Structure 1
Amino acid sequence: MALLKAFLFVLVAEMGDKTQLLAMACASKYKLKQVIAGVFAATLLLNALAVLIGTYLGSYIKFEYVKLAAAFLFIGFGLWGLKEEDEEEIEGEACSLKEDKFGPIITVGTTFFLAELGDKTQIMTLTFAAQEKAPILVLVGATLGMMVADTLGIAGGTLISKYLPEKYIKFGAALIFIVFGITTLYEVLPIQYITVINQIVFYVILAVLIYVIGFRRKNKK
């Protein structure tokens, strides 16, 4: 269950993310197998760090607090996913290291590692590791999820974008995480906190954040 959960949610989170675009940009400069090798090495290292930290935190913090933090983090992941990425800036920084000095695989891996370090998918993996108490399964699931998403981005990103614009993919992923976060809140919060007033305040604040992060900036453009 932990493997499947980590796989599915990391896969959804990575779709349309800046690192998926980075992988696509690198694929335009190097061979497919070189890009995949670099991305895999960086992904494995990133997720291993996240699992180590998450497992440590999960051993010293009560499960209820971990689950409560996870709920807010998932809502945060959803809001984060509504932010627009500057595609020109992403393509400009992709594989910007001197490949003649480091080689294609190290160049791709280092670029991907630096771009993904501290990103929502790594924080999500950390959260799962703290919550699920199955570090190896979380590591495997998260790594597979990221690799599938980035491989799809490299191989089929252009084809997918012809039929389904990236903004709809990102919006759908964001909605999934927000809903998951809300349902987790209902599971972990004591019943005395789930009052009508508190729910109204919460949903009003959430709606304002969604508007400001996801729609106000687009309307300005």
Structure 2
Amino acid sequence: MSSVVQGFTKSLAMTVLSEIGDKTFFAAAILAMRHPRRLVLSGCLSALIVMTILSALVGWAAPNLISRKWTHHVTTFLFFGFGLWSLWDGFKDEGEAEELAEVEAKLNADWKTNTGTTKKNSKDVDDIKKQKRPFLSQFFSPILLKAFSITFFGEWGDKSQLATIGLAADENPFGVVLGGILGQTLCTIAAVLGGKSLAAQISEKIVALSGGVLFIVFGIQSFLSTVDS
């Protein structure tokens, strides 16, 4: 039970500090300004939950593919590496502006491409189309699928995904999944309900430095802990 709690708390703290001000955080915030929030929330959160579970499964399987000792060493290295990376981003203090500008540019280009020439009576037309569509096609709307795909591929290979894999290889995977899902849920809800204004009020530098310190602490703890061969 204690291993589950430890994996849960580590994963929760790591996820929250990694995702605030991340590309997918801003993507969810911007999409929620243009589309129904429930669809954006469903799409983004579904992608993050799937990614968290997949990452934890990879981390859980890693000790079965290579020795437990080596996965422990790799995890320790990842924690120190991500800690230094986050500290560098914090001291550089350019991350948030660059992330926001990049995400806005991509979504604006996509928005202009897909926006029609006029919006007059578009709500009535959408309502009629929605009534004609079957239930499943209403649920899996283009907006939900767009939010899912942007978030899923935006997280692929990201620092938080790799950290989740490393954490699941060294901690209880069930606890890591629960903590990761809760952390992703909190961050996604915050982004959808007002992520842009929230990010403006929270210092990206403080978040990055806090995340860096947290990763370094995890690294030290992992380095000092013993592992069965």
For the pair 1:128 / 2:167, whether they are aligned, the reply is: yes
Quote the residue 1:22 is aligned against. Answer: 27
TM-score by length of 1: 0.73
Equivalent AA in structure 2 for residue 114 of structure 1: F
Comparing 51-60 with 118-127, which one deviates more in the overlay? 51-60
Distance 2:23 2:62 in 1: 28
Q: Gaps (5+ residues) in structure 1?
A: 190-221
1:14 CA drift (Å):
1.3
Distance 1:155 1:59, change over 3 A: same
Q: Gaps (5+ residues) in structure 2?
A: 90-94, 116-140
Paired positions, count: 188
Equivalent AA in structure 2 for residue 177 of structure 1: F
1:10 CA drift (Å):
1.4
Using the aligned pairs only, state the percent identity.
27
Distance 1:28 1:137, change over 3 A: same
Quote the residue 2:182 is aligned against. Answer: 144
For the pair 1:3 / 2:8, whether they are aligned, the reply is: yes
Tell me the alpha carbon deviations over residues 22-67 of structure 1, each in whole angstroms, 9 at most, x when there is no partner.
1111111112211110011111221222122212112233333222
User: Which structure is richer in relative contact order (CA contacts within 8 A, separation 6 or more)?
Assistant: 2
Where 1:80 maps in the other structure, the secondary structure is helix
Comparing 43-52 with 55-64, which one deviates more in the overlay? 55-64
Quote the residue 2:122 is aligned against. Answer: none
For the pair 1:168 / 2:206, whether they are aligned, the reply is: yes
Quote the residue 2:104 is aligned against. Answer: 91
Distance 2:161 2:202 in 1: 26
Where 2:21 maps in the other structure, the secondary structure is coil
Query: 1:119 is matched with which residue: 158, 168, 172?
Result: 158
TM-score by length of 2: 0.71
Q: Quote the RMSD (CA, aligned, Å).
A: 2.7
Distance 1:37 1:163, change over 3 A: closer
1:104 CA drift (Å):
0.7
* Within-5 A mapping of 1:26-105: 26-81=31-86, 82-83=88-89, 84=95, 86=98, 87-94=100-107, 96=110, 103-105=142-144
